[in-house]
Structures are given as structure tokens and as C-alpha cells.
Structure 1
Amino acid sequence: MKKNKKFSRDYAPLAATFCLAVASASVLAAADDLNPFGVGSSAEASGLYGAWMPKVAAAGAAWVRIFPEWNEIEPSLGTWNWTRMDSILNTAASNHLNVSGLFLYNARWLNPNPHTFPTNDYPQWSAYVSNVVRHAAGRVRYWEVWNEPESFAAGGTPAEYARLVAAADEAAKAADPNAQIGLSVASVDVLYLERTIEAGAADHFDFICVHPYELLGTVSSGQEAEFLSIVPTIRKMLAGKDPARINVPVWFTEMGEELRGPVTPTAQAGDLVKAYTMALAQGVSRIEWFEAQEGGYAMGLLDRSGAPSPSYAALKNLAVELGSRPRYLGWLSLNGSDGCGFVFQGVTTSVMVSWASPNKAADITFGTPVKILNPLDGSVLNQPKLRLSTVPALVSGLPLPMVRQAESNRDQPFPWGCTYATASSVSVVLGNPNLEYGLHQLNPDSTSTPARINGVPARACGKSAGVAFTVDPNFLSYTHAPIIISAAVRRMSAASHPGFNLKYESAAGRKGIGWNSVPGDDQWHTLTWNISDDEFVGSWGYNFTFDSDSTNYSQYYLRQVTVTKLAPSGSVQK
């Protein structure tokens, strides 16, 4: 245990730091920069790192996201406690793991609430960053500034975050010229990133960190195209707001799925494989599953006792098959649009990660025996055909024509049934099942019930307080056009008084149009809304909702929803 001592705030740690950097065995391996597989830890389970680090390393992870907070490292002004930080870094190094660093929260001696930006003393923030980076030089290269500032900086603004980022960038690179600085946001909050860059963070970051929990939750309802639009949408934003940074790496520094309801351990494991696969397919540089060991969020690769979950096995099998440097080749539509496949160059041969769309089954014939691995349980078949289900399968040794087709598709937008890039409108006809033409209802069976009204298919919306929708990102994403949203609605009974507020993603954030009552007669009615400031990016997994506040006001039927462009995308200047 090191003894804490007070030294000069700017220079005291230098000698000890350089000795540690030279002596440490945890120098970042250049090869690991290309390894995308990682995991993160909650604060609740972070103290167990000595137990879970060897296990996640055995599963193929090369990166771990875990770091002490500022208040622990500097518990009082000028008093430095490196004990836990060094222990984490040394334990990671002994397990051949690299640490993703974080500059976390405020010091309590500056503000009793650590979840606030240190706006009252930015120089102290810079000194903290400088000393931490100097102490970790040679052992940590990548630093994420804060964690989800929208959620963990009470009242903090993008402008304040931008100043924090710029200060961290200057201090970190003065302490270690190899340091790289990352922006952080909750979910895929493109608007917050946009405002942060506009407010002064431009050219002060080297990578971007997002946490696509909500978007991962849409994959089970067939919204692969939305998940695959995360990086392209970020790059569209960067092209307009910070062109010099358009190609910076994008990291998923948190991503996970809670075990509850339809998300069983098996379903979670399957979604982990899909998420890592589609992240790699869109060029994500680092993917860190939340979390390594269960800390109370029902997301752990390891349970509270340290026993592996099906998701642990899934990650291990995927990492083994794709190798530490997977190279994406392209995608395939399988059996029409009943299934999809993402093809990689694995360790020794091509590997296709494939699955069927919801409520579909795809029969795939290869013409020659191939290796088919179930990543959830490790079982292997060698046969010339495969019946796809929603459980992903890893197919090794694809016939060359399939590989070539995947390569030719690589730079084409992933289709959502068909390509809607040039369509003037998208729609969904609700029923059992919904008929979707470029417009998805999010989790329809969780929020509504199939119905038939005088023989007309529809959905009763009284099951939840709101229904949410997502447009095909090839139709409309970030670069906006004036649109009309229309909905065919009908009251469920004369006694009910249903209605909703249309809330949508706008250039100014999430916006509500106001209350819309469903007319009272026993007829279908079409409600329409003209919108000119849309900015559909799917930050929280959807683009617009019909929000009834409670099920008391959601007692209506919904027959069809349509989004129509009044001008080509991008025709309105931002």
C-alpha cells in the first residue's frame, strides 16, 4: 500500500511516473490497437477486477473499460492516491489486457456532487488530467472524457462539456504526446455531439464513444438497418460540423442488454453476437460489452458468483472464429430478405455470421459441406445446408461466389426489405403481422395488440402509454427534408377519450407537437402533421412516438402510419 503524500500539484508525480512507465509490463501492444473485442465494468463490480479480468481475457477480450474516479485518485487538493489505479493497470497487464481510460466526474473538494462539471475551477481539472495521464503514460493511451455527460453532469451543457474536452485534450497531450481523447455521450446522442463540437470541441478529440443500448434493443424486432446506421449517421454529422475529424474512430464503450421479459440468457447471447457483428460491419473500432461481471444490472458475461453466462460463451466463440483482427468483407441478403449474413475474413478462412429475420426461417444451400457453429453452445455441424433462425450461426468456409457477392455489397446500404433511398414515402400497415414498407413500429407486440375492425387489420394501442416508430435510415437520416406524418386512427369505444402527443427528433432536440384527440365518432380518421425541422438519427432507438401519457388515453386503434417527403433529403440547409 502506497502512502499518500502532498507534493507540488504539477511536478511531484513525474519521477515516480516515468519509473513506472519504464518498468511496467503493460505497455500498450500495437497489435491490440486492431483488436476490437472488449468489456466494461460497472462501479458496483469494479472491485472484482482481479477475479473477472483473467476470465474475460480467456474469452478473447483485449480491452477493459474500468478506471478510478477523480475523487479517489485525488481525495483532497494535492494529495494523490495511485494505489487502486496502479493495481488495475498491473492486473490488466498481467492478463494481457489494455485499459480504456476515463476522466471521471468532479472532485468532492470542488463540489459535493461529483456528477457536475468543474465549471468553478477548470485549471484544477486540467491539472488532474495532466497528472493522471503522466502517471499512466505507456500504459494507457486512450482516454474518454467523462461518462454520458447528459446523464452524469447535473445541469451541464454541451458548451461546458466542450470546454472540459478542450482542456483535457491540451493537458493530456502535453503530459503524453501519444494520448488520444474521446468524446462521450449517452446512447447515440448525435445532437449532443453536434452541439459539443459547435461549442468548442472541434479538433479537440481523436475518437467518439457512444452507448447504443436502446438501438441494440431494436434488433430483436428486425431493425438491423437502424443499428447499422450508427456510424454513417455520426460521419454525416462530422462532415458538416468538423470535417477534419470525419474519419475518427467510433467506439462502443458501453453496450448491453438487461435480462428481463423476452430477453432470456439465450436471447441476450444471440443479441451480443449480432451487436458485435454489426458494429464491426459498420467500422466500429472498439466494442466493450457492459458488463464483465454482474453488478446489479442483469447484463454480466459472468454472474455474481463469477460463473460464465451464455453471453460469455457467445463472445468467446465469436472471437475465436473471427480472430483478433477481423476484416469485414461485406453483407448478404439470404433467401430474399428472410435472413442476413455478414462476411469476414477470419483466422484461416471466410466466416459468415448469419441469422433470420423475426418470424422468418431461411433455408440456405451452400452446395458443399461447410462448418456451422452455434456460438451460444459451441456445437458444430458439417453439412451443405442450413436452416436459419433468429439464433445466429457462424458459417466457415463459404463458397467463393458467396464471398464475392458479399464483397460487391459491402459499400451498398444495407436493405430493409428493399432499398428506400429514393422513395418519396415509407409506411407501415398495422395488423398481425405488420406490413412494413420502410417504416417500423418498435416492439409492436409489447406496445399494442393485433385487432380486426369490420375485417380491416389494425392494432389496439391500449397496451402501453405510447407507440414508437423508426424510418429506414436510407430514406431519411440526419440530413433532413420537410415531411408529412399521417396516421389512420379510430376510438376503441365511445366512452373513451383517447389522444396523444406526436413527439419527434428535431434539429433542436426531441420536440412535441401538442395534444391530438382521436375524433369521437365510430369512424376511421386520418391525422396529419407537417414537420420542417426533423433530424431523424435514432438517438434513443426511434424517430417519433405517439405518446398518450398513460394507458387511460391510449384506447384507440391504429391502422396505418406514413411518412412522406415534401422535398429530397438534404434540400433544407441545417
Structure 2
Amino acid sequence: MNRWHLLALVALGSVGMEVSAAEETRTPFGVGSCHVNGRSVEDYQRWVPQMVELGLKDQRSLMSGWGELERTPGEWHWENMDAQWSYLHERGIETGTLLLGNPAWNQKDPPGHLPVNFIDGWSEYVRQVVRHFRGRIRRYEVWNEPPNFTGPQQTAADYARLVVAAYDAAKAVDPDAQIGLTTKSAHLVYLRQAIEAGAADHFDWISLHPYEVLDGIVADIGMEPIYANLVPSVRRMLAEVNPGRKDVPVVFTELGVDAGRHGEAKQADALVKAYVIGMAQGLENLQWFEGRDGDSGPMGLLDGQGRPRAAYHAYGRLIQALGLHPQPRGWAVLGASTYGWLFECDGKDVVVAWCPRGGREELSFSGEVEFVHARDGREGRASSLVVGTSPVFLSQVPSKDLGRVTAVTEALPPWPGDPGTYHDAQEVKIDYALDPPERGLHSRGGAEVAEAIVNYGGSARAGDAPGGNLLMVDPSFLGDESVPLKITAEVRRKDPAVNAGFKLVYEGPDGFKTAGSWRTIPEEDRWHVIEWSIQDPRFVSFWGYHFRLESDGAEYGQYLLRRLTVSKEASP
């Protein structure tokens, strides 16, 4: 048995011990499963024992759908759900559960729709579940990823009706029940709409599934600041629309990485980064999706045969390095560009370090530090260490080598490779005549699609370069607040005889929307300026970017972009 494995088991305690949410502070380390890995105790037996070995104490949900529990009106079947709860409880794992579903016998709402036309039935379902599990389950998440899995015409107001009914029904039978408000991805606009439509003061915590933002970290394009801004964005939104709930816990009840698409090494690196930055911004818990491969592809800590992936071992080393209850202190920049995230862990300081955006740097310390590589477990002591994109755990780092440590609530870490700061800026831009070209405005494709094309005596990027038309502003420049913007593009056709153009699509108050109409680039063989005025941006990155220049077909992307500017305008 290796060292991290043994320490994780010691941290977990004796198998079968009773764990009460009221008696123990919740740890940030959790896990969840897809449908086929969470239907029964038999499903759990194929992957939960390995999660126990890691020291995990937190599982997302039991099989609790309305249709499974009330198969015919008035007849309740608890055997499977009770068996699942007992299996997890005996292993020291606390679980929440989902409130969702629409039974086939409900004639008022089609299957797959929110049961808004049968609120009495929905309320009774919630009462039955919460009453049955009073004292055993406290966390209830209302639905999964709305507006996903809802009717095509159903709105955030419909979801709000379900939330209010669930909250009132749950609290009536168990005042300690905690109701979670949720949405797909990081769709804060949808949460805002639900709260404004009536869900205000009817929830106790918030759930997000920001896969798309994490994907930008996996791809090493520098999206750590946007990921670090997710919980602060939730806090700002709540302070505006529901101040009494602005400090509720935030949980990522799903977050993961496709090991088939990105590879096992990057999955392992991303897991550590997701937890480290998540804890640093105040995330209460993150339930990694998922424990074992199931019906959602190669997402598991274990593959389809139950073999541990590199991410499984990295998860264990993370818990060994930080303990079950790490206290985040903030971030620092080590050397020239390496991120260092400081935690106090059982009386000692631990720094988790990596070089973002594909970087690599040799760090020198004034004394020897202990290091452990998260991905492969290599460890030792050294006074200098080369750090790349894979995280390294460092201990005994001299404070003078660490420098200034800044809490995420005070300021976000700098965008890697960007020489500026933009808290007080009125303008951000990409200018291919500069080095580096990205100054507070960044392309989703990063360096791979931002390769300069020297043309007409200057530098530009081709409009048909894949991924380069997805843009993000630095979150220190503009978060989810609605500030009037002017966006300016300097473009020209590659061939004056070939038609080219695009439309601007941006995150607004109701999701993505088109600004004005299609813009055709004039055929004159020179640079042209195209401008848009946007009065209602809501840049929350729920798809992992803020706006895009969209050409309807590759043939219309035959243009060059020399400069793109986003500037703040005075409110009309």
C-alpha cells in the first residue's frame, strides 16, 4: 500500500462509522455518477469501494426520480433508495439527492417536461421524499441542468414554480432540508431569471456544471481567471437580485473531463486544477463526474473495466497533500509566470503550482522545498524545480519566495501571457501588430489560432482559422454586470472578389443573441472598420466564451482581422 493510499484511509476513519452533516464540516472532495452507475447497490459495488479508498465522503444523488418512487399514483417504493443510502452510509459517505422527474401516469404534463401543470403532485412527491429521509439526507437539488431536460417552450419562470413548491414542501416536513437551485453549465443568466421570476429566498445553495469553462483549462488556453471568477460571479449576481442569499454555498455537482478526447494525463491535471481553483474561490464541494465510465463516455476516474486512470491517483495525491479540510489563502505568481495557490493544511502551508497556457519555467528557491508531482507521484527535495502545465505540490516554501498572496475575492490571477491589468481599463483589444497581441481580450483558440499572418505590410489573423472567432474579455475588465459596450473590428477580404462577412453573437440577458444584422465586408482592397453597440451584455461564459464573429459557412470566413477592440461606453 503506497503512502497516499494509507493516509487517505486513515483520514476516512473506520468503515461503517456514522457521519452526520451537523457534526462534521463538509469536505470539498466529492464524486457523482451517471445513470447506469447509480441505479442500485449492485451498480455502486462496481466503483464506490475505490472511492472509499481515496477518502471521499460526498456523493451527489441516489436514484430518486419521481417516476421510480411513485410508479402508480399513491404507491411509494422506497426499497432501492433505502438500500442505496444504507450502502453509502455504512462506508462513511454522505449523500444528497435530486428532486426531478415526471411520472408516465401524469396526464397533465408530457414526460420530459417540468410538471408545472401538476404542482400538487410534485409537492407531494417532495414531501414524501423529504419526510422519508429526514435526519438522513439534507441536500436536495431541484432538477438536473435546467433548461436541459425541460419542455422546449418552458422557461426559467416554470422552473421557479417548481423550486418554490419544492422549498415550501420540504421545509414543512424538515426545516433542516437544504434546497439547491441549479442550471446547466455556468448559465447564471438562467439562475437570475428564475430568481427574479419567484425563486428568490426559496433556495439554500447553488449548483453549477461548468464543463465548458474547465475545457479551456484542459486545452491550456489560459482560462484559469474565468474559472476562478465563477463563484465571485454568483455572489455578485445574488447580491443584486437576492441579497439575503448572497452567501449561500456554491457546489459544482458535476464537473469532469473526457479522457478519450483529451487523454488521461490532461484529465488528471485538470482534476487537480479544478479542485484547487474551486476551493480558492470559495467552492464548498465539487462532485467529480464521474467515478467510473458509464453511459456518458470515458469520463470516469475508473475506466469501463474498473481500472484506475491517472486522474484517480492524482485525486488521491491531492487529498494526501491538502488533507480533507484545506483552508485557501490565495494565489501568487512564482517566478515570472507560474501560478502558485496557497493552502493551510493541518497547520502547514502547501502550494499547488503549475505554469498556465502551455508554459514551462524553472523556479529557484532560497532553500530546499519538498515536491510531489500530482500526475505521476514523483517526489523529492530541491532548491530549483522545472514546472510545466502539470500541477506540483510544494511544501516548506520560504515565504520570501512566495511573495504577495492575494485572495480570489480581492483580485483574480492575471491572464497568462497578458502584460496588463484591466480593473480600471476602458478598453481591451487584440492587435496583431503587438507582441503579445492579446491585451485583455482573448481568443478561445489561443495561440494556435492567433498565429499572425503577415499581409499588406502588417499582421492579421485569418477569419477562417478554427476557433479564433470565439472571444473572451478578461473578467477583471467586465464580469456579469451589464455595461454598454462598443465592439470594433478592423477587417478586409482575403480576395476582393470573394464575398466575406459575419454577424456578432454575444451573451445577453436571455442567453446568446445577435447584435444587429449580418455585416458584409466591403470589396475595396483595404482595411475596413465595422462597429457594434451593445447595451445589454451579460458575460458569464456559460459556453466558455463571451462573443463570437460568426460566418454562415467557411466561404464567408475568407477575411483577415487586424484589430478587435471592446470598449466601455457611457450609459444612454
Q: Normalised by the size of structure 1, how large is the TM-score?
A: 0.90
Q: Deviations over 1:464-494 (max 9, x none)?
A: 4871111111111122322111112222224
Q: Indicate the residue corresponding to 1:264 in structure 2.
A: 263
| In 2: Cα distance, 1:466 partner to 1:118 partner | 41
Q: Does 1:536 align with 2:539?
A: yes
| In 1: Cα distance, 2:411 partner to 2:468 partner | 34
Please tell me the residue identity of whatever aligns with 2:558: Q
Verify the 8 A CA contact 1:426 1:471 in the aligned structure 2. Answer: yes
1:39-188 matched pairs, under 5 angstroms: 39-47=31-39, 48-68=43-63, 69-110=65-106, 113-154=110-151, 155-188=153-186
Q: Indicate the residue corresponding to 2:527 in structure 1.
A: 524
Q: Deviations over 1:332-389 (max 9, x none)?
A: 01223x2211100123521111111224222222211111111111110211122211
Verify the 8 A CA contact 2:443 2:450 in the aligned structure 1. Answer: no
Q: Deviations over 1:129-148 (max 9, x none)?
A: 11111111222110100001
| In 2: Cα distance, 1:66 partner to 1:476 partner | 35
Q: Indicate the residue corresponding to 2:200 in structure 1.
A: 202
Q: Indicate the residue corresponding to 1:193 in structure 2.
A: 191
Q: Which moved more, 1:302-311 or 1:545-554?
A: 545-554
| In 2: Cα distance, 1:371 partner to 1:215 partner | 31
Deviation at 1:434, TM superposition (A): 5.5
Deviation at 1:157, TM superposition (A): 1.1
Paired residue secondary structure (1:164)? helix
| In 2: Cα distance, 1:402 partner to 1:108 partner | 63
Paired residue secondary structure (2:116)? coil
Q: Unaligned regions of 5+ residues in structure 2, if any?
A: 1-15
Q: Indicate the residue corresponding to 1:512 in structure 2.
A: 514
| In 1: Cα distance, 2:191 partner to 2:173 partner | 26
Q: Indicate the residue corresponding to 2:339 in structure 1.
A: 340
Verify the 8 A CA contact 1:26 1:138 in the aligned structure 2. Answer: no
| In 2: Cα distance, 1:168 partner to 1:333 partner | 45
Please tell me the residue identity of whatever aligns with 1:40: G
Deviation at 1:213, TM superposition (A): 0.5
Q: Unaligned regions of 5+ residues in structure 1, if any?
A: 1-23
Aligned equivalent of 1:547, options 539, 550, 560: 550
Please tell me the residue identity of whatever aligns with 2:92: H
1:96-495 matched pairs, under 5 angstroms: 96-110=92-106, 113-154=110-151, 155-219=153-217, 220-261=220-261, 263-295=262-294, 296-336=296-336, 338-402=337-401, 405-406=404-405, 411-416=410-415, 417=418, 418-430=420-432, 435-444=437-446, 450-464=452-466, 467-495=469-497
Deviation at 1:519, TM superposition (A): 2.1
Please tell me the residue identity of whatever aligns with 1:411: E
Deviation at 1:435, TM superposition (A): 2.1
Paired residue secondary structure (2:251)? strand
Q: Indicate the residue corresponding to 1:18 in structure 2.
A: none
Q: Deviations over 1:205-259 (max 9, x none)?
A: 0000011011111222012111111111111111110000011111111111223
Paired residue secondary structure (2:137)? coil
Q: Deviations over 1:296-330 (max 9, x none)?
A: 32211110011111111111111111111110011
Deviation at 1:403, TM superposition (A): 5.7
| In 2: Cα distance, 1:146 partner to 1:566 partner | 39
Aligned in 2, Cα 1:251/1:408: closer, same or farther, shift over 3 Å? closer
| In 2: Cα distance, 1:109 partner to 1:559 partner | 60
Q: Which moved more, 1:520-529 or 1:349-358?
A: 520-529
Verify the 8 A CA contact 1:466 1:549 in the aligned structure 2. Answer: no
Paired residue secondary structure (2:259)? coil
Aligned in 2, Cα 1:466/1:498: closer, same or farther, shift over 3 Å? farther
| In 2: Cα distance, 1:212 partner to 1:94 partner | 31
Paired residue secondary structure (1:273)? helix
Q: Indicate the residue corresponding to 2:10 in structure 1.
A: none
Q: Indicate the residue corresponding to 1:3 in structure 2.
A: none
Alignment identity in percent?
38
Aligned in 2, Cα 1:113/1:25: closer, same or farther, shift over 3 Å? farther
Deviation at 1:159, TM superposition (A): 1.0
Verify the 8 A CA contact 1:321 1:347 in the aligned structure 2. Answer: no
Paired residue secondary structure (1:221)? coil
Verify the 8 A CA contact 1:343 1:352 in the aligned structure 2. Answer: yes
Q: Which moved more, 1:34-43 or 1:552-561?
A: 552-561
Paired residue secondary structure (2:144)? coil
Verify the 8 A CA contact 1:424 1:565 in the aligned structure 2. Answer: yes
Paired residue secondary structure (1:371)? strand
Q: Which moved more, 1:537-546 or 1:514-523?
A: 514-523
Aligned in 2, Cα 1:448/1:332: closer, same or farther, shift over 3 Å? closer
Aligned in 2, Cα 1:559/1:141: closer, same or farther, shift over 3 Å? same
- The count of residues paired between Structure 1 and Structure 2 equals 544
| In 1: Cα distance, 2:435 partner to 2:215 partner | 19
Verify the 8 A CA contact 1:250 1:286 in the aligned structure 2. Answer: yes
Deviation at 1:415, TM superposition (A): 2.5
Verify the 8 A CA contact 1:465 1:548 in the aligned structure 2. Answer: no
Paired residue secondary structure (2:482)? coil
Q: Deviations over 1:519-550 (max 9, x none)?
A: 22332222111111122222221111011132
Paired residue secondary structure (2:86)? helix
Deviation at 1:90, TM superposition (A): 1.2
Verify the 8 A CA contact 1:489 1:556 in the aligned structure 2. Answer: yes
Please tell me the residue identity of whatever aligns with 1:212: P
| In 2: Cα distance, 1:519 partner to 1:31 partner | 68
Q: Which moved more, 1:479-488 or 1:442-451?
A: 442-451
Q: Indicate the residue corresponding to 1:5 in structure 2.
A: none
Deviation at 1:170, TM superposition (A): 1.1
Which structure 1 residue ranges, 4+ long, deviate > 3 Å from structure 2?
A: 24-27, 29-33, 111-114, 401-404, 407-410, 430-434, 444-450, 463-466
Paired residue secondary structure (1:162)? helix
| In 1: Cα distance, 2:134 partner to 2:439 partner | 52
Deviation at 1:52, TM superposition (A): 1.0
Q: Which moved more, 1:133-142 or 1:26-35?
A: 26-35
| In 1: Cα distance, 2:521 partner to 2:365 partner | 53
Deviation at 1:412, TM superposition (A): 2.9
| In 2: Cα distance, 1:273 partner to 1:40 partner | 17
Aligned in 2, Cα 1:276/1:165: closer, same or farther, shift over 3 Å? same
Please tell me the residue identity of whatever aligns with 1:250: V
Q: CA RMSD in A?
A: 2.2
| In 1: Cα distance, 2:409 partner to 2:567 partner | 29
Deviation at 1:60, TM superposition (A): 2.9
Verify the 8 A CA contact 2:334 2:401 in the aligned structure 1. Answer: no
Deviation at 1:29, TM superposition (A): 3.9
| In 1: Cα distance, 2:434 partner to 2:312 partner | 35
Aligned in 2, Cα 1:30/1:551: closer, same or farther, shift over 3 Å? same
Verify the 8 A CA contact 2:229 2:412 in the aligned structure 1. Answer: no
Aligned in 2, Cα 1:434/1:78: closer, same or farther, shift over 3 Å? farther
| In 1: Cα distance, 2:413 partner to 2:569 partner | 24
Deviation at 1:25, TM superposition (A): 6.9
| In 2: Cα distance, 1:114 partner to 1:63 partner | 30
